[in-house]
Copies of this chain bind each other. A is one copy, B any other.
């Protein structure tokens, strides 16, 4: 992996993982009232005047010719390609497919930009509890995890409930052991540090492997995968998530003073491949150099099918240029749809884009990302200044007919767009009814069965209309 990738991954861990999926609180339905937004009557009147075009877009996507199309395109995409892991051939074929279906819609301004991405390939994985009784433990190795020796590692396990509990232990007690974390799930944002840092913290105390309670609030014996990062100066030890059920079981055994012995076998390979970000432009009529970006990522984990993470986000971002083309709508600024590559292995495509386009990023007016589900749309999570949020809140008033007017303040409203938002670009994520998102996320359960055609229609309509209004109105979204 190149230094660039390492930097990207480091930034990801230190900024995004801890904030990207906080519980959605502070839903402020009337943001403009609460924050005493001081928009001119002229601007408010102008924004309100988009009511007609917004409703045209909604009608077209929800009950008109586009109805069901987002779902059917997603279904074809998912059923044809399945999971699309960063660096894989199937991901590149999936990218080609999206280019082809875009051109088939007579939307021609579609192109790709090459990106060097990590290619981590899971091999055989198994874990067996040998003592106090034999039991197979379901597991999923974590992205970038090293392999065990071919015949595995067999060791006694200790179970800790928190990093504090581990820190308080003598190194002698940890040395040579498998560390099992049975930390409770608080929220994804709070708890994911056990997945991302668990191996490194265990290795620093001499452990030979780390097994982490899956980062999810609910399970039907479902392990979830995800990224982890080895700290500098620690031995890279194999690491995987196990189910909530087994982690809790092992925790009970340990606290009942049972001796726990586990045999862990994991194999994996890692190298670097070339992939592509995919871009579709709807050129602006007055300020083609100014950009409103809508985006989702096209790669996925290797388990499940990535229908939810992030097939849905990709397809609603794909819908934007298609719907605008069909409705003959061309905004004043350019709307760019981007399907990021290499997201799951470290936001690699997004960071590459931000770097490659650095000189023109001042021209990005607004950047939107959908990567936390495309269930019923509720509004937007918005980063940026209060004035920026006031304008977006005014735009969201246009969506009262579909009850998608909520604005949630979020410093970092999306994972892939952190590279741009951290440069000061105002940005937003799709706020949606994603209460069960982390039930399926990064697991075999992320399939078409999670998706819903009507909800995707609503998301496609909302995403298209928000982007259109912001790209077309007279004022830019101000930066901080």
Contacts and interface: CB of A to CB of B under 8 A. Distances in A.
B444 A220 contact: yes
Nearest to A79: B252
B82 A135 contact: yes
A220 B439 contact: yes
Interface in A245-299: 245, 248-249, 252-253, 256
A139 to B, nearest CB: 13
A440 B75 CA distance: 27
A443 B286 CA distance: 60
Which size bracket describes the interface of A in this complex?
A: 20 to 34
- Most B CB contacts (10 A, CB to CB) among A82, A249, A448 go to A249
Nearest to A445: B220
A245 B75 contact: no
A251 to B, nearest CB: 11
A221 interface: yes
A133 interface: yes
Nearest to A136: B444
A245 B138 contact: no
Contacts of A75: 252
Contacts of A248: 448-449
Contact of A244 (B222, B256, B449): B449
A439 B220 CA distance: 8
Q: How many copies does the complex hold?
A: 2
A229 B332 CA distance: 68
A308 to B, nearest CB: 12
Contacts of A220: 219-220, 222, 439-440, 443-445
A304 interface: yes
B221 A444 contact: yes
A381 interface: no
Given A220-B219, A221-B222, A304-B221, A245 B79 contact: no
Interface string A69-86: 000000100011110000
Given A220-B222, A222-B222, A439-B220, A447 B138 contact: no
A270 to B, nearest CB: 22
A445 B249 contact: no
Nearest to A80: B133
A175 to B, nearest CB: 27
A449 to B, nearest CB: 5
Contacts of A79: 249, 252-253, 256
Interface string A432-451: 00000001100111011100
A111 to B, nearest CB: 27
Interface string A113-141: 00000000000000000000101001000
A304 B220 CA distance: 10
A447 B222 contact: no
Given A82-B133, A221-B222, A444 B138 contact: yes
B249 A219 contact: no
Contacts of A449: 219, 244-245, 248
* Max chain B C-beta neighbours (<10 A), residue from A75, A80, A220, A448: A220
A439 B245 CA distance: 15
A445 B133 contact: no
Contact of A447 (B249, B304, B440, B445): B249
A424 B443 CA distance: 49
Given A75-B252, A252-B75, A221 B445 contact: yes
Contacts of A439: 220
A220 to B, nearest CB: 4
Contacts of A80: 133
Contacts of A244: 449
A287 B443 CA distance: 58
A298 to B, nearest CB: 18
5 contacts: A80-B133, A221-B304, A221-B444, A245-B447, A249-B447
Which are the 8 A-B pairs with shortest beta-carbon distances?
A220-B445, A221-B444, A245-B447, A220-B222, A221-B445, A220-B220, A245-B449, A79-B252
Given A79-B256, A222-B222, 16 more contacts: A79-B252, A80-B133, A82-B133, A138-B444, A219-B220, A220-B222, A220-B439, A220-B440, A220-B445, A221-B222, A221-B444, A221-B445, A221-B447, A245-B445, A245-B448, A248-B449
